[in-house]
Structures are given as C-alpha cells and as structure tokens.
Structure 1
Amino acid sequence: MSDRKRNKIYRQKYFWLIVYVIIQSLVIFTYFAMREKEELTWPYTVTDSAERVSLTEVSNLLKEDSDGRRAAVMNEKVYVETIPGAGLMSDETASEVTPSEQSQTASEDGSSDVMSTVVYAELPFPSSTFIQDVIMTSDFEIEVFVADGFSMGIWASIVMQLLFFGLIIYMILSMTGRVGGSFGTEKGFEIVETRNLESGLEAVAGLDNARTDVQEVISLLKNNGNAAMAGGRLPRGLLLDGPPGTGKTLLARAMAREAGVNYIRVDASSLSQMFVGLGAMKVRKLFRKARNLAPVIVFIDEIDAIGGARGNRGGGDQDRENTLNALLTELDGFEDRSGIFIIAATNRPDMLDSALTRPGRIDRRITMGLPDIKARTEILEVHCKGKRLADDVDLYQIASTAYQMSGADIENLVNEAALFAGRSDSAVITMDDFKAARDRLLIPRSGGATSMLEDERRLTAYHEAGHAVAAILNPNSDPVEKVTIAPQGGALGYVLQSPDRDRVFEIKARLKARLSVAVAGRSAERLIFGDEMVTTGAASDIRQATALAKAMVTQYGMSAIGFVYIDGQDNSLLDINKPVAREIEALISEAIKSCDVLLDENRDALETLAQALLERETLSGDETRALVLSSMADIKAAG
C-alpha cells in the first residue's frame, strides 16, 4: 500500500474523533472564559489558619443566628466564619484560640477590633444538594461564594460522561461504516498500485499450459474488458487451484503488472469476523474499494475458507454463509463491475460451493500442478538470477533430482544451497551445495546427534546396501542418486532415488519394482544375519510397501480381485476386506521372494557395497553402480 493511501485511511479513521475532542474542549474553555471573575480576598487570607471540623458541626453552625457572619465554598470545602459567643465557638473556646488560629476581619467602619475564627469542612461529592439545602437557605451572609470546587467537580463529571457516551457512539458508527473507523474491516486487505508491483510474467516460470488463458485475460484487462470483436465479454473471474507453493499468488500479481492495473489481495479467512454481519460488510467494502480503483484485479487467497459448500456446516458457521452470500451477490453483476476481475486461489477446489464457480461468477479455472522437469529448470533459472554459480552446476540435473518439488520448494532449495556456500565462506554456489541442500530438504536433520555402535553400523550398512542392490539390478526401478549410513533426521541411513524423467502415470512393473526395493532392506538383514537378527529399522519400509500394495489392490485394479475400486469407508464392502488383505499380502510376499533370490545370487555385490559404506559412510549413485556392476563382472570372470 502506498504512503498516500495509508495516510488517507488514517485521516478518515480519526477525523471525527478529533472533531469531537475539539468541540468538547471548546465547550469547557468557553465556560471558564465567560465566568465572572471575582475579587477573592476571603477566605484566601485565612485558609492556612482555618480549623477543620465535621460536616455535621458546620451544618449545625449554619443554622444558628448568624448576624454579621459569613460563609463561602471553595476548592470543595465549605468555610464558616465564627465569632466568640455564637454558634460552635463559645466565649471560653474563643479565649483559648491561639493568635495563629485567629484572623482579623474589618467591620463596617473599617476598624479591626472584632476577632473571628474560620472553620471548614470537606464537602461531599456531588455537593449541589448540600449547597442548595443548607448554605443557600441559611441566614448567613454569603459575601464571597467561590464556585471553583463545586463547578470543577460537576463539570468534570459532565465532561467525562460526554466523552464516554461519545466514544460509544463513535464505536457504533465505526461498526456500521458511517465514520472513517473500520472496526477490523481493513484487516487482511493489501492494496497495491500498478506502479508498485515489482515483476510480471517473466518471474513466473513453468506456465506453458496456462499461458494462453492468462494472456487472454491480460489482453482484455488492458482493453478495459473490450471483447466486442466477436461479441464477447471479459470473464468474471479465474479460479487457480493446485498444491501449495505452485505460484498462485505470484501469478495473480504478475497478471496485474502485465495488464497495468491495480491489485488488491484479500485473505479469505479475514472475511469471516467474530461479530455477525461484519464479514458481509467487509465484502461490500472490498468491492466498493475495487470500483474506486478499477481497472483492478482482486485476488482472494484460500477462498475455501468462506466458499465451502453451504448446508454442510453447523449453526456456528451462519456468519460464514452470510459472508458467502454477500460475495455471490457482488459477483452476480447486479452492480457495475466493469474493470474488476476476480482471481481466487484454493488447494481444495472440491470443497467449493457450486454457485461460486458457475458461469457469470468465477467462470474460468486453471489447475496449477507440480512443475515437470522442464518447468523446474526454468524456475531454477529464475531463482538463480543474481547468484554466482560454479562451472560444475547443471540446473537440468538439479531439476531432475528435485522430483515432486513445487516452485516454492525450488526457491527454498536455491536459498539453502546459497546458505551452504556461505557456511564455507564461498560466494560461489557449487553442485555439492545444491546436493547438500536437496538432502536437507528431503530428510530434515534431527535435533541431537545420533551415535551408533559398530554392530549397529554394520546392520545399517547391509540394510541400505540391500535397498541399493535391488534398485540397481531391477531395470524398472528409478536410478540411485545417493546411499548413506550417516544418521539424518529420523533415519539411520537411506537410499535416495531420482526418476530419470517425469511420468504422467505408473505401470505395474514399476510399482512392483518399488515394492521389491522397499522389502530389500529386511531381506538383506535376514540373508546376512538370520531371521532372529532382523531389526526395527524396516518399520518405514513396511508402511511404504503396505500402502503401495493396498493402492494396487483397491485403486489401480492390479490384483486377482480385478478391475474394482474399493473404498475403505464403504460399509457395504466389508465382506471383501479379507480378500483385499490376502491380495495385499500376496503382492508383498511375491516381492520378498523375488528379492531374496536376487540378493542371494548377488551376495558378493551386497558384501562389497556394505563394506564400502562402512568405510566411507556415503556413496554417490555413480559410485554405487560402479561397485555393484564391477562385483558382478568379477563373478562372471571367475566363473
């Protein structure tokens, strides 16, 4: 948001509150400025020597015969002048009064021979009742009536009440949008003028399939929605769906930059408010802003937060449905929406209400899938701009090992590689830095160091060697990229495989090869150490093999059960659970038997690879293949 927009919102928000404070200040100032100033000589001259008594005594004194005496109110105190022989002060009491407790008062002829004593009592708050009922009805001569204490207390109370009620009124007006205050309706808005958008489509790589639709929308926005060439109109909106990190937000900003229009980003979860009705009010305010900024792209992120199908939620989500209804009304075109284009993003398009994506509302859709190897290479090139790369860096090879990574993951990969280079005090990123960064992202590090005894290292070495040998000798398996027995994260060792190319679907032979590789670690343990020495290190392998075999049986129709999809949540298919379990077991048992035979026939390759891992801990894919193939060549030569 620009400084000019921010200042404008600030001025609107506090304008009426400042005006209210100024008016209240003027009222108070006017009162004191117009008050009649009196020449105050008494009781200022006696306040230091006045004696404090109870309010009851002062009340009784005021009811006595008061000829020639005076009373005054000042600073929330009532002062009464007494003379010897009258009221509270008797002759004997007056004779005992010390000179410091006395003051002289002038008589009518100007003499000062009459001695008087002043007493005072604290007034209650509020003091208006006491003044009216006691002082004003007494026979005392009110020569000086100083209203400071009375007036300040009353006026302070009035002003505080006015300020309190004014604040309540201001909050109510803020909630209804009648004044500049937003009461939370500004939260979640990001308004960016087109000149402040940093980059366009050149920063968004890997969008070959979506580029046609994107360019068409950009062209229509540039022409202010004019598609009259064939009688068409600007689409109402575009839905971007796909996994997290695939560039949905980046694409929306880039489209606004390319089209030369303003951009408003809204977090859909911020449209749901704690107070009922505020969400709908915020939606209407959003579109008012959009109309003022048109042409504009309004990007609603994670729209499933408010756009879920109605009727499937409890009463607590009534406000969310009201917010969705307000959004549907704004999208329906009842008001002028010329120059406003809606882009919504979600990771769960299946949850959206059908009314939201019908024609005339958000009626275009682009699925942002995970990038293929070509797109990953382009994304790497974008994120490597401005960074110094070593001569050995091959971005295509890095992209091939970054299988199933999103654009955000690839950006993180480049950043981690730069951090690894920085740790070695190098300004150049090498291929080893990229490999270390990839390993760190795939297998996070553990919080503490894991140390293994020699027998545990030996068991782990044969376990990982079994995985590697099975992967290398199976022609349908993915190539081995790295083998290590160095503990990292929750793994004591691992074999990293990277596909040689991206595949749209898998074949049964490749799935069975993955099963064989998964069970090979346990098979190697059993072959070398016996059935009683197998370890718990195969727990993750068992989960992986079971999940894969279950998918082959229940989803892919690759078992004796046949071409059937089986939903585990469907109670009508409970009778088929036992056959499903038998088929899963059969697939895994077949993989174990074939792997046992493979490792037994190539035990020398298994031994050679395990000893190399014990010596060096980590081997690259090329080194691993060379060791396995050379062992097989030696066996053939010896035979």
Structure 2
Amino acid sequence: MASRQRKIERIISQLHLTLSRSYGRSSGHILNKRWPLCHCMTRWEPKTYSTSSSFNGFYETAQRFRRSSRLKTGKSASQQDNQADQATKSNNVESEIEKHIAEIETELNTLTQKSIKLEKSKRLKHLAEGAMLLLWLYFIYMVYKMDLADMVDKMNKDSLIQPEKGDVTFNDVIGIDEVKEELETVVSYLKDPQKYTRLGANMPKGLLMTGPPGCGKTFLAKATAGEANVNFYYISASSLEDKYVGTGAKRLREVFNVAKKNSPSVVFIDEVDSIGSNRMSQSMDRSFAYQTLHQLLVELDGFENNSGVVVIAATNRHDVLDWALTRPGRFDMVVSVPLPNVKEREDMFVYYLSKVRHDSSLDINQLARSTLGCSGADISNIVNQAAFQAARAGETEVNMGHLEYAKEKIRDGQLKAHKLDQETINIIAVREAAYALVAYYSKFGIPLNKTSILMRGNNIGLSKKILTKLLPEGHSDMVSSNKDQVLAKLDFLMAGRAAESMIFGKDNVMKGSGKTLEEATNLARAYVSKYGMSEKAGTRIFSSKEEALASPEYQDMLNEEINRLLKEAYKRADEVLQSHKKELLMLADNLKKYETLNKEDVKTLLKGEQLKR
C-alpha cells in the first residue's frame, strides 16, 4: 500500500508540475474539475506537493480493519457482514483510484508532449530574439565605427594628405625649351615672391598646360615644383568623380586646405577636362556631377593674392573646358606643350638609348627624322620595344634593325604572318614599287625612306594603306607644304592606280588602292577649298557646312577642280612610270624576293647593280 501511495503522489506531483507549466496557477482548479477524486486525495499547494490527511486516514482505516478482522474471528455475523461491505467499498474505491490513475497517466503523457513542444517553441523564439538583438548591436557598432572613422579622418586629414617628392628639375626635362622659359616665371615667384609683390604684381592663380598626350605635361609640373623646391600635390581629376555626391568636392577642399597651410606649394590637377567640361554642352541630368567643378571655381576665386599656392592643370582637350574655368582670375596662363621637333627627338633618343646597351653606330638623326609626330612617350616605348626584340633574338645590344622593327610595330601594328596568294603578292609588289619610284624621281616630294610588301596590324590582303615610307631630310620637320609639294603628294598617291592600269590593264585594276584614292581626293578638295591654292576657285575658304550650303555653281566648279587635279596627278605619275617601266618591274621582283628595300637598296637597284645580301 505504501508503494501505491508513493506512486499516486509521484503521478499527481508530475501532473501538477505539467499543468503549472501549461496553465500556471489555475492548474489546481483544472485538476479538481477534471478528476475530483484525485482532488479529494490531495490538497493543492502553489509551491508544495503533499498528500492530505484524508488520504492517509483512508489507508490507515483500511489497514486497521484488516488487522481487526484477523484478530477478532469470533465476532458476530452481522459485524462480519459490515466488514465485508466495507472491504467491498474499499475495493471499489481502489478500483476507482486505479481507473483515475490510468486516466491521469494518459493525460500526463499528452500534456508532457505538449509541454515539450511548447518549450521548443519558446526556445526558438528566444533564439530568434537573441539573433535580432545581436544584429541590432552589430549595426550600432558599425555606425559607431564609421562615425569614429569620420572623426579620425577629420582630426587627421592634414596628416593623411602628403605631398609627393619633387625629385625632378628642369635639368631632367629634354627639349621644349620655350615651355620651360614660361614656367621659369612661376619658379621664380615661388622662390622669391617679394621680388614681384614689392612692385605690386600678383602671381597668376592658375596655369593651364595643353597639348597632345605623352608630351610631358605631368613631368613638367613635377619639375616646376622640384625646381622651386616646394611641396607638390597631385590630384587626378577622374578620382574626384565618385558615386557619392559631394565626395569629390570634399576631397578638393581638403587638398587645397592642406596646400594653403603648407605654402608655398604647387597643386597639379591632371586631366582637368573630366571635371571641367563645358556645362552648356551637357544635359541637366548630370548637374549633380558639377559640384566638383563648382568647388574648383570657388577654390580658385578664394585664394588671397600671393597666397603662395599655384594651381597647374593639364588637359588634352582645351576646347571642351568651361569658359568660367579659363577666364582671367582663375587659369590666367595657358601654356601649350607641343610635340618635339626633330632636334628634340634626337636628344630624346640619346637619353633613352643611354639606358640600354646599343650599337654605337646607330643613326640617331635618321631615327629622329623617321619619327615625325611621335611624343616623348612614343620614343621611350620605341627604345623599350627594341630592347625586348633584341633580347628575344638573343642579341647582346640594340641595333638599327631592332629600332626599325619597334618603330613600325608601334606606328603600324604587329607584323602579320598572313599567307597571301601569288596574284595578290604581284599586285602589291607592283603598287609599292610604283610608289617608291615616283617618290624617288619626284623633285618636290618627300624623299623615300623604305618600301615593303609586309603587312602590319589590320593592313591584311590588298594593301589598305601605302607601305612605302617617306623620310624628311635635314633637321627640320615639314609642318607646312607649298603648292608644288602638295601636287607632288598627289602624284605619289596616284602612282599605285597608274601602275596597276599600266601593268595589268585598265579592266584589271584592283580595289586595294581605293583607300589611297580617297586620301588623294581629300587632299585635292583641301587644295581647292581650304588651302586657297586653286586659281579658278580663288582664295575664298569654305567650311564643310558652308560648302554643303554653297550654290550649285560653286559645287560644280569645286568638283571640276578636284577632278582636274586628280587627272593631272594621274597623268604625271603615269609618265614617270612609263619612262621607267623596266625599273618598276625590277623593283617589284626584288620586293617579292626580299620583301623590304630601304633607300640605299633602291638606289643600288636603280643604278643597275645587284643587291649584296
């Protein structure tokens, strides 16, 4: 009986615990309503689980009754009947208790499963709440970190912006002596500002350098700061354009503030056209991008006279700059940095060749004359590519052949190993021989340099451009041409078509010379409408728009003059080729054999001698 009592007490205690987890303090009421007999056997306490005295008395009475029935066997039958009734009632109560215990155990299992599910859901809810709390704390930390970084940036921005070392001077700049003379004024002011201020002169706030790419504008700005021995601050204008509005203007303010604190100094803005283009030529959709330009205008206006800060900007497109940027008071001085002339190119070749092992017999003057239109960066690249070619060939030094190869590779493209059929080779050889022959016998044209049938770059198949190269003589670049030289250039351009007609027949001319004929047509049009060299058209110059709107009579006259010039040039070229037909075929045969002939080779062949190769 004691074990059963303990079992009942344990089950009821578990039931109370489960109900309290699910329903709280109302668990006793639910137990009384659901199983009233159980409530009779126990008293619900909120904090304790103990059996009632009635339950103990019930079992004690049953135990006393059994003991007395065993001791008093001689009692009357009526008493025995009463005792039998009480035993029957006790058995009924016990069976009822067992029945309730089974129900309690079943319900206890159900409530336990529900309690487990509820506990899991509560744990998941707590985990989700904890994760959200961690994310929120991380967000607060990142915001605090960014604010702290901004604070540090504001506190230490002067130390974050450092000037570049001015380790170059005007002695390191080759050529462009006229530009250096203009920059000497800026250097003199930065060295001794009192020399100008005591006379009442104010130094220009800005200096704008213009010119083709690779002419050394950035190098000149560094040399200016190095010559004056002042701080040099470099700004790439493209880096001021950021996806966040106002970032470029903020960066510009910081650089100028640091430059003012550390004056005298030079602030150099490279490729200023990326932020300083004309606002009227752009749509208003990009108005937000002009904040950097507006900040630059304000900074240039905000300088005090003789503040010791000089702003130098560089651009390749001076024509697209906003007029407010180039007006007096901002960029007062405009310095044009041109391409180097032949003498300056010689000096550049000498300088860059001194850095590589080269043949002492190099013809530097020929290299300079054959690189008309090349910048200092181009010449540096030519020498570097020649050194690479010499290394690939296993040579110990750079020779003239390596430099010629590098020059043609950079200017015309990589040599193509394109397999051409024999008919195409014959046509190209005759055409290039004709160009070389007319150039050689021309009185006013540019002298011949070399002729070749090798294809480079996209110049594949029938020649899209003339492969024969000309070379100015002397130490002067031909920046202008007189009337005879223009007509000689027309003869040169018409030589290829004239040779095709003469050798292969007028019905067998090829389309390969079409590009050359287009160039000849444009030159003839410029002769009439731009150069004012035509006696019939006069010196009246027409722009392309005016020419399109000109009267029909003028347009007819223009076409007649262009056709006349082309026909006369064709006739002169044909006369030269007809009189030297034998030499033409001989040059073509040697081109097919050797692929490339220089000026000396052509002279040797035209003298009737054989090449020694």
TM-score, normalised to structure 2, is: 0.76
Against the structure 1 CA distance between its residues 58 and 504, is the aligned structure 2 distance closer, same or farther, given a 3 Å change threshold?
same
Against the structure 1 CA distance between its residues 211 and 478, is the aligned structure 2 distance closer, same or farther, given a 3 Å change threshold?
same
Give per-residue Cα distances to partners, 1:61-97, cap 9 Å, x unaligned: 65312945669xxxxxxxxx999x9xxxx84377689
Give per-residue Cα distances to partners, 1:101-153, cap 9 Å, x unaligned: x9xxxxxxxxxxxxxx99961354896xxxxxxxxxxxxxxxxxxxxx6xx87
How many angstroms apart in 1 are the aligned matches of 2:196 and 2:50?
Answer: 99
Task: Give the letter aligned to residue 252 of structure 1.
Answer: A
User: What does 1:181-192 correspond to in 2, within 5 Å?
Assistant: none
Query: Structure 1 residue 246: deviation in Å?
Result: 0.7
Residue of structure 2 equivalent to 1:505: 480
How many angstroms apart in 2 are the aligned matches of 1:163 and 1:498?
Answer: 71
* Pair 1:217-2:183 in alignment: no
Task: Give the letter aligned to residue 496 of structure 1.
Answer: K
User: What does 1:36-435 correspond to in 2, within 5 Å?
Assistant: 58-60=21-23, 63-65=26-28, 67-68=44-45, 91-92=101-102, 121-124=119-122, 157-158=132-133, 160-165=135-140, 167-168=142-143, 180=153, 193=163, 196-223=165-192, 227-228=196-197, 230-334=199-303, 338-435=307-404
* Pair 1:564-2:540 in alignment: yes
Residue of structure 2 equivalent to 1:604: 582
How many angstroms apart in 2 are the aligned matches of 1:229 and 1:354?
Answer: 32
Query: Structure 1 residue 610: deviation in Å?
Result: 1.4
Match of 2:494, SS?
Answer: helix
How many angstroms apart in 1 are the aligned matches of 2:131 and 2:379?
Answer: 65
Match of 1:297, SS?
Answer: strand
Query: Structure 1 residue 245: deviation in Å?
Result: 0.8
* Pair 1:471-2:439 in alignment: yes
| Conserved? CA contact 1:267–1:301, under 8 Å | yes
Structure 1: which 5+ residue stretches go unaligned?
1-50, 72-80, 103-116, 128-148, 632-639
Query: Structure 1 residue 562: deviation in Å?
Result: 1.6
Against the structure 1 CA distance between its residues 192 and 119, is the aligned structure 2 distance closer, same or farther, given a 3 Å change threshold?
closer
Against the structure 1 CA distance between its residues 611 and 124, is the aligned structure 2 distance closer, same or farther, given a 3 Å change threshold?
same
Q: Which moved more, 1:363-372 or 1:454-463?
A: 454-463
Query: Structure 1 residue 201: deviation in Å?
Result: 2.3
Match of 2:28, SS?
Answer: coil
Task: Give the letter aligned to residue 493 of structure 2.
Answer: A
Q: Which moved more, 1:533-542 or 1:566-575?
A: 566-575
Give per-residue Cα distances to partners, 1:167-215, cap 9 Å, x unaligned: 45766898xx665289xx99xxx96645x34432233211111121122
How many angstroms apart in 1 are the aligned matches of 2:569 and 2:373?
Answer: 26
Superposition CA RMSD, Å = 3.6
How many angstroms apart in 2 are the aligned matches of 1:574 and 1:126?
Answer: 89
Query: Structure 1 residue 265: deviation in Å?
Result: 1.7
Match of 1:356, SS?
Answer: helix
Residue of structure 1 equivalent to 2:519: 544
Residue of structure 1 equivalent to 2:449: 481
TM-score, normalised to structure 1, is: 0.73
Residue of structure 1 equivalent to 2:568: 590
How many angstroms apart in 2 are the aligned matches of 1:248 and 1:198?
Answer: 16
| Conserved? CA contact 1:240–1:345, under 8 Å | yes
Give per-residue Cα distances to partners, 1:275-295, cap 9 Å, x unaligned: 333333332223123224432
How many angstroms apart in 1 are the aligned matches of 2:45 and 2:117?
Answer: 16
Give per-residue Cα distances to partners, 1:519-543, cap 9 Å, x unaligned: 1011111111101221122122122
Query: Structure 1 residue 384: deviation in Å?
Result: 2.0
Query: Structure 1 residue 431: deviation in Å?
Result: 1.3
How many angstroms apart in 2 are the aligned matches of 1:229 and 1:181?
Answer: 38
Match of 1:210, SS?
Answer: helix
Residue of structure 2 equivalent to 1:573: 550
| Conserved? CA contact 1:193–1:261, under 8 Å | no
Structure with greater Cα Rg: 2
Task: Give the letter aligned to residue 121 of structure 1.
Answer: E
| Conserved? CA contact 1:225–1:234, under 8 Å | no
Q: Which moved more, 1:302-311 or 1:512-521?
A: 302-311
Match of 2:377, SS?
Answer: helix
Give per-residue Cα distances to partners, 1:482-529, cap 9 Å, x unaligned: 111122233357101121131332111111111111110111111111
Q: If each structure's helix is expressed as a fraction of its own residues, which one has the higher value?
A: 2
Query: Structure 1 residue 623: deviation in Å?
Result: 1.2
Query: Structure 1 residue 248: deviation in Å?
Result: 0.6
Against the structure 1 CA distance between its residues 70 and 243, is the aligned structure 2 distance closer, same or farther, given a 3 Å change threshold?
farther
Task: Give the letter aligned to residue 326 of structure 1.
Answer: Q
Query: Structure 1 residue 423: deviation in Å?
Result: 1.1
- The number of aligned residues is 518
Against the structure 1 CA distance between its residues 192 and 169, is the aligned structure 2 distance closer, same or farther, given a 3 Å change threshold?
closer
How many angstroms apart in 1 are the aligned matches of 2:229 and 2:574?
Answer: 64
Query: Structure 1 residue 309: deviation in Å?
Result: 2.5
Match of 2:325, SS?
Answer: coil
Task: Give the letter aligned to residue 209 of structure 1.
Answer: E
Among candidates 431, 436, 444, match of residue 405 of structure 2? 436
Against the structure 1 CA distance between its residues 383 and 191, is the aligned structure 2 distance closer, same or farther, given a 3 Å change threshold?
farther
Task: Give the letter aligned to residue 593 of structure 1.
Answer: K
| Conserved? CA contact 2:20–2:26, under 8 Å | no
Match of 2:334, SS?
Answer: strand
Give per-residue Cα distances to partners, 1:254-313, cap 9 Å, x unaligned: 222222222222222232333333333332223123224432211111111222223232
User: What does 1:5-44 correspond to in 2, within 5 Å?
Assistant: none
Residue of structure 1 equivalent to 2:73: none
* Pair 1:555-2:530 in alignment: yes
Percent identical: 31
Match of 1:420, SS?
Answer: helix
| Conserved? CA contact 1:272–1:319, under 8 Å | no
Give per-residue Cα distances to partners, 1:40-59, cap 9 Å, x unaligned: xxxxxxxxxxx9xxx99943
Match of 1:355, SS?
Answer: helix
How many angstroms apart in 2 are the aligned matches of 1:209 and 1:582?
Answer: 45
Task: Give the letter aligned to residue 330 of structure 2.
Answer: R
How many angstroms apart in 2 are the aligned matches of 1:573 and 1:191?
Answer: 59
Residue of structure 1 equivalent to 2:60: none
Match of 1:299, SS?
Answer: strand
| Conserved? CA contact 2:187–2:224, under 8 Å | yes
Against the structure 1 CA distance between its residues 229 and 213, is the aligned structure 2 distance closer, same or farther, given a 3 Å change threshold?
farther
Task: Give the letter aligned to residue 320 of structure 1.
Answer: A
Task: Give the letter aligned to residue 605 of structure 2.
Answer: L
| Conserved? CA contact 1:219–1:259, under 8 Å | yes
Give per-residue Cα distances to partners, 1:432-466, cap 9 Å, x unaligned: 111111121221026x6311222222221111010
How many angstroms apart in 1 are the aligned matches of 2:148 and 2:210?
Answer: 39
Against the structure 1 CA distance between its residues 540 and 62, is the aligned structure 2 distance closer, same or farther, given a 3 Å change threshold?
farther
Match of 1:403, SS?
Answer: coil
Against the structure 1 CA distance between its residues 259 and 56, is the aligned structure 2 distance closer, same or farther, given a 3 Å change threshold?
farther
| Conserved? CA contact 2:193–2:306, under 8 Å | no
Q: Which moved more, 1:223-232 or 1:596-605?
A: 223-232
Task: Give the letter aligned to residue 490 of structure 2.
Answer: L
Task: Give the letter aligned to residue 581 of structure 1.
Answer: N
